[in-house]
A and B are shown apart, each in its own frame.
Chain A
Amino acid sequence: MLEEASEVFENMLKSSFPLTFIVFLPAVLILVSPLPAEAAHEFTVYRMQQYDLQGQPYGTRNAMLNTEARTVEAEVLSRRCVLMRLIDFSYEKYQKVIRQSAGAVVIILPKNMSTMPQDVVQQFMEIEPELMSTETIVPVYFALEDEDLLSIYEQTQTSSSSQGSASAAEVLLHTATANGFQMVTSGAQSKAVSDWAITSLEGRLTGLGGEDLPTIVLVAHHDSFGVAPWLSYGADSNASGVSAILELARLFSRLYTYKRTHAAYNLLFFVSGGGKFNYQGTKRWLEDNLDHTDSSLLQDNVAFVLCLDTLGAGDTLHLHVSKPPKEGSPQHMLLRELETVVSSQYPDIKFSMVHKKINLADDTLAWEHERFGIRRLPAFTLSHLESHRSAHRNSIMDVRSNVDVKKLARNTKIVAEALARVIYNLTEKSAPGDLQIFTEQMQVQEQQLSAVIDWLTSQPRAAQLIDKDSSVISTLEYIMGRYLKDIKRHYVKADKRDPEFVFYDQLKQTLNAYRVKPAIFDLLLAVCIAAYLGAMYMAVQNFGVLYNLVRRVIQPKSKQH
């Protein structure tokens, strides 16, 4: 039967070439079906900030990366991608790397920042502004540590440190055993994003009675800032401020629904965008309201503007002013009420007023209230930080664990009590200092605050990442809409010819680490293979020897048969 089959098969082969073609082509195609793509190590890396502010470039200017990896220990770093870990990162090392004209820098951050020792975090926070203060030509990336990346780092470290101090044989052996890594980013070069709109949100609670009621403006910016936009979660600055504002909106909207508690003050809530870029959202909002429209709450009778920034930690509260409030002004009233509330209800909190004049020569404004101060609106900022220079406000280390919801709730309550005392004029009605308005049903809800802050810090909210369709904006709009009226969006786009701010893309990329060997290794391998093939040739040539040997072993036996 087999014979028949073979005959059929043979005939098929001989007679009809097309048939064989039809039979074998699919077979060939099946056999050579595409293989899974070669899996190199892949990481998500986050690029350092790149932006221009008032024509001044900041951050890294480059996004392309295709060089071999080294660690700082290596002797030659030029045109290499230098891997650094946060644990042993220092500004001196970074500068040394840049001076040696490295091709790129990848800084490996731990997956969970809160596990880092506090001094390392503190040190890095202080370095962060330094990294961005000047423009860097080479790309600087941040990666989150995982096992693969750590093993790459360690292998690179061993090969980097053993360079230059070994004999030729050692180097040869080393090339065979050790791995080099070629780092390649998949994305394109970074380019300026045109027409980027920064979104701010406005909402109001209208007071009871009359046309010409005084207005209290409550402001907090919603964006975050850090050395890498995709890593800036901005928990304390300024998710805490936004959640406090939303809680205040909730509390006062409840008060304003009842006629008996409907005060004769308009409350204007403003959640501004671009706060970390010189308060662009606030600036445009003021221009729109003061210069372009005829009737606006901001134009007439603003009692004061209270900006909230970094309220989520610490046992201090500082009221930052650019001009000490005059006796008898509503501004002074709030200051006095804040003092009363703190001293009578929370005596363990240190409250103080910090006076700092607006310095127009500075590149950036210190606090948000200065935007209002420039436009001659009475304004101040409440924060637990004593100085605007604190690295806390602009760091990727500002994550959720930095915010203590209890303290945030307490600070929110202080603001709410003081505001209530102002708008209901309680001091003149000789209410005691420890009278608590926001208790029981009206109390500040910690769950509410923590839910908002959890949500806000679950995503990076750098100004470059939040466009007008982003879920952050729409959700904020929705929450504000629940409590406030006349919710409006305000967009800021940079001027085309003379842009005040320019953002760049390619902030998040995929980094491929390919295992590579030096060229000398290929030569070495070629020599080894040639030797092997030579041995192979000898073996096949002299196969007869083996054959005869086996035969001699067997032959006596077979003779005996």
Chain B
Amino acid sequence: MTLFHFGNCLALAYFPYFITYKCSGLSEYNAFWRCVQAGATYLFVQLCKMLFLATFFPTWEGGAGVYDFVGEFMKATVDLADLLGLHLVMSRNAGKGEYKIMVAAMGWATAELIMSRCIPLWVGARGIEFDWKYIQMSFDSNISLVHYIAMAAVVWMFTRYDLPKSFRLPVTVLLGLCVYKAFIMELFVHVFVLGSWTALLVKAVLTGSISLCSLFLYIMLVHSN
């Protein structure tokens, strides 16, 4: 709408990242370049994913409005590469568990923010037409920050050698949820014909519960021994 509106959206999208970075103490660890490296890995993984998708999943040519359940599921499966990427980042950083998790998640999420939200905001929110979707997009980026922190935590737990047997199942389930979250959301929106605000709310609730679960597991794991 105006430059002011763009500023609003940008502030809404970026400040939570900044706050998280500052308050989590990452700045004290001098973790900036580590985060940048994590971001670079994000780019690399996305490129690989895209090449893979383009090679093996030609565009779906079904009728309009038809939801290609299997196709979408297969595409979501490719997101497993994200887990691999996160693991790659974390395995390269020595340090405490929470430090590794935070670096990986921050770098990952920030790279995603810059790559997939910056340009639409710049192009769209500055345009003459007003649309709530840019505010929604900014909120969505906040949600994805939480999502990636939780996801990194779950990946970290999964790759630990000393993971107790009883943890194996819940962690795997959470891992699956993290990967297929976007797919589940899409399914929700498609089946229940949700409006954009409701969809955002559902997404927030879903992400919140996943991260709460992973927090529980994390605390249990960290403080059990």
Q: How distant is the Cα of A543 from the Cα of B145 in the complex, in angstroms? A: 15
> CB < 8 Å: which of A13, A32, A514, A540 contacts B129?
A514
Cβ of A495 < 8 Å from any Cβ of B?
A: no
Asked if B40 and A536 make an inter-chain contact with CB atoms under 8 angstroms apart, the answer reads no
Report yes or no: B2 in contact with A40, Cβ–Cβ below 8 A: no
Q: Which residues from B are CB-within-8-Å of A517?
A: 1, 130
Q: State how many angstroms separate the Cβ of B57 from the closest Cβ of chain A.
A: 16
- A533/B15 in contact, CB under 8 A: yes
B92 on the A face (CB < 8 A): yes
Of residues 1 through 46 on chain B, the ones whose CB sits less than 8 Å from some CB of chain A are 1-2, 4-5, 7-8, 11-12, 15-16, 19-20, 23-24, 37, 40-41, 43-44, 46
Asked if A550 is at the interface of the complex by the 8 Å CB criterion, the answer is yes
Can you name the residue of chain A whose Cβ is closest to the Cβ of B222? A551
Report Cα–Cα, A134/B112, bound state, in Å: 60
Beta-carbon contact of B223 and A31 below 8 Å = no
B129 x A515 contact (CB < 8 A): yes
Q: How far apart sit A182 and B1, CA to CA, in the bound complex (Å)?
A: 11
A69 to chain B, nearest CB (A): 13
A64 to chain B, nearest CB (A): 16
Interface residue B215 (Cβ < 8 Å from any Cβ of A): yes
Q: Are A9 and B128 in contact (CB under 8 A)?
A: no
Q: Tell me whether B201 is interfacial, beta carbon within 8 Å.
A: no
A26 interface residue (CB < 8 Å to B): yes
Among B67-75, B117-125, B187-195, the stretch in contact with A:
B117-125
> C-beta contact mask, A105-122 vs B, less than 8 Å → 1, else 0?
000000000000000000
Nearest CB on B from A517, distance (A)? 5
Closest chain-B Cβ to A500's Cβ sits at a distance in Å of 43
Residues of A contacting B205 with CB < 8 Å? none
- Assess whether B84 is interfacial by the CB under 8 Å rule: yes
Instruction: Given A32-B115, A536-B19, A541-B23, decide whether A515 and B216 contact each other with a Cβ distance below 8 A.
Output: no
0/1 string, B123-139, CB within 8 A of A gives 1: 11001111100010000
Q: Is A424 an interface residue (CB 8 A)?
A: no
Docked-complex contact B88 and A533, CB < 8 angstroms = no
User: Considering only CB atoms, which chain A residue lies closest to B7 in the complex?
Assistant: A526
| Inter-chain contact A31/B1, CB cutoff 8 Å | no
Contact of B12 among A6, A9, A184, A532 (CB under 8 A): A532
A515 to B128, CA, bound (A): 8
Contact check: which of A27, A516, A546 meets B43 at CB < 8 Å?
Answer: A27
Q: Which of A35, A533, A555 has the most CB of B within 10 A?
A: A533
The answer to whether A547 has its CB under 8 Å from any CB of chain B is yes
Q: Is A91 an interface residue (CB 8 A)?
A: no
A95 to B5, CA, bound (A): 38
B116 on the A face (CB < 8 A): yes
Instruction: Tell me if B87 counts as interface (CB < 8 A to partner A).
Output: yes
Asked if B163 CB lies within 8 Å of chain A CBs, one says no
Cβ contact within 8 Å between A31 and B116: yes
Give chain A's interface residue range (CB within 8 Å of chain B): 35 or more
Partner of B1, one of A5, A522, A536, A540: A522
**Which bracket fits the contact residues of B?**
35 or more
Docked-complex contact A526 and B4, CB < 8 angstroms: yes
Is A558 within 8 A of B128, CB to CB? no
Do B37 and A13 have beta carbons less than 8 Å apart?
yes
A23 engages B44 (CB within 8 Å):
yes
Q: Which of A28, A30, A35, A515 contacts B130 (CB 8 A)?
A: A515
What CA separation (Å) do A558 and B12 show in the bound complex? 39
Q: Identify which of A2, A31, A515 contacts B115 (C-beta below 8 A).
A: A31
Residues in B neighbouring A184, C-beta threshold 8 A: 128
Closest chain A CB from B37 CB (angstroms): 7
**A166 interface residue per 8 A CB criterion:** no
Kindly name the residue among B15, B123, B129 whose own CB sees the greatest number of chain A CB atoms within 10 A: B129
Minimum CB–CB distance from A527 to chain B (whole Å) comes to 10
Q: Could you tell me if B128 and A516 are in contact, using CB atoms closer than 8 angstroms?
A: yes
B4 touches A554 (CB 8 A): no
- Residue of B with least CB distance to A182: B128
Q: Is the CB of B92 within 8 A of A10?
A: yes
- Write the A393-420 contact mask toward B (1 if CB under 8 angstroms, else 0): 0000000000000000000000000000
Q: Is the CB of A561 within 8 A of B224?
A: yes
Measured in the bound complex, the distance between the Cα atoms of B105 and A402 in whole Å is: 71
B44 pairs with A9, CB closer than 8 A = yes
Asked whether, in the complex, the Cβ of A514 is within 8 Å of the Cβ of B128, the reply is yes
Task: Decide if A3 is an interface residue (CB 8 Å cutoff).
Answer: yes
Q: Cβ of A27 and Cβ of B46 under 8 Å apart?
A: yes
Report B16 CB to chain A, min CB distance, Å.
Answer: 5
Known: A10-B92, A517-B130. A35 touches B219 (CB 8 A): no
| Residues of chain B within 8 A of A540, CB atoms compared | 16, 19-20, 23-24
Residue B50, interface by CB 8 Å: yes
- A537–B21 alpha-carbon span in the complex (Å): 11
A10 to B34, CA, bound (A): 12
- Cα distance A2–B123 when bound, in Å? 39
Q: Once bound together, how far apart are the Cα atoms of A555 and B5, in whole Å?
A: 47
Are A35 and B123 touching (Cβ within 8 A)?
yes
Task: Select one of A6, A24, A529, A543 contacting B11, CB under 8 A.
Answer: A529
The 10 closest A-B pairs by CB, nearest first: A27-B47, A514-B129, A31-B115, A514-B128, A540-B23, A522-B4, A27-B43, A32-B119, A517-B130, A515-B130
Q: Beyond the given A38-B127, A529-B12, please list 15 additional residue pairs across the A-B interface where CB-CB is below 8 A.
A: A2-B84, A2-B91, A24-B44, A27-B44, A27-B46, A30-B50, A184-B128, A516-B129, A522-B1, A522-B5, A540-B16, A540-B24, A546-B215, A547-B215, A558-B220
A interface residues with partner B (beta carbon < 8 Å) = 2-3, 5-6, 9-10, 13, 20, 23-24, 26-28, 30-32, 35, 38, 40, 179, 182, 184, 514-517, 519, 522, 525-526, 529, 532-533, 536-537, 540-541, 543, 546-547, 550-551, 554-555, 558, 561
